[in-house]
Amino acid sequence: MHTKRVIDMRKVTTDEQFRETVASSGVTVAVFKTTWCPDCHFIDPFMPEIEQNYAGRIEFIEIDRDDLPELCSELNILGIPSFIAFREGKEVIRFVSKLRKSREEIEQFLGRAIEVSAAL
């Protein structure tokens, strides 16, 4: 049985798209992934629901590291998946670890991203 995905994270494929999106006054979380990363596929089933839970508070974008290698190099994206929260074009906080990320860890990070952003 195939379940329908609720929200599809917006894919950003150009440097310009990325910079325009993260320049907004709200919190934007960029999720850096690739098609060949098993830990990236591990988060796929629960990310749409997380996106829905944070709708109106966080805009999510997905970036394939292989599509934008220069940007990923500039942002020092080594491990994937990596989560970076931006506000007004500046990095607020990032969640990067070598370990597989659980739903709980991702939600804790998103909560912190909102708190830190609100304090700016």
Identify the pLDDT of residue 6: 52
Catalytically annotated residues: 37, 40
N residues, the chain = 120
103 CB-near residues (< 8 Å, 6+ apart): 43, 46, 50
Distance, in Å, from the CA atom of 91 to the CA atom of 82, rounded to the nearest integer, reads 13
Identify the pLDDT of residue 5: 45
Q: Which two tokens stand for residue 5?
A: 């995905």
Identify the pLDDT of residue 2: 46
Identify the pLDDT of residue 13: 96
Count of helices and strands (H, E) across the chain: 5, 5
pLDDT tens string, the chain, 120 residues long: the values are 444 445 578 999 999 999 999 999 999 999 999 999 999 999 999 999 999 999 999 999 999 999 999 999 999 998 899 999 999 999 999 998 778 899 999 999 999 999 999 988
Identify the pLDDT of residue 44: 93
Identify the pLDDT of residue 7: 57
Identify the pLDDT of residue 3: 47
Distances (CA, A) of 32 to 61, 72, 83, 119: 9, 8, 6, 25
Distance, in Å, from the CA atom of 10 to the CA atom of 8, rounded to the nearest integer, reads 6
Side-chain-side CA neighbours of 18 within 13 Å: the count stands at 23
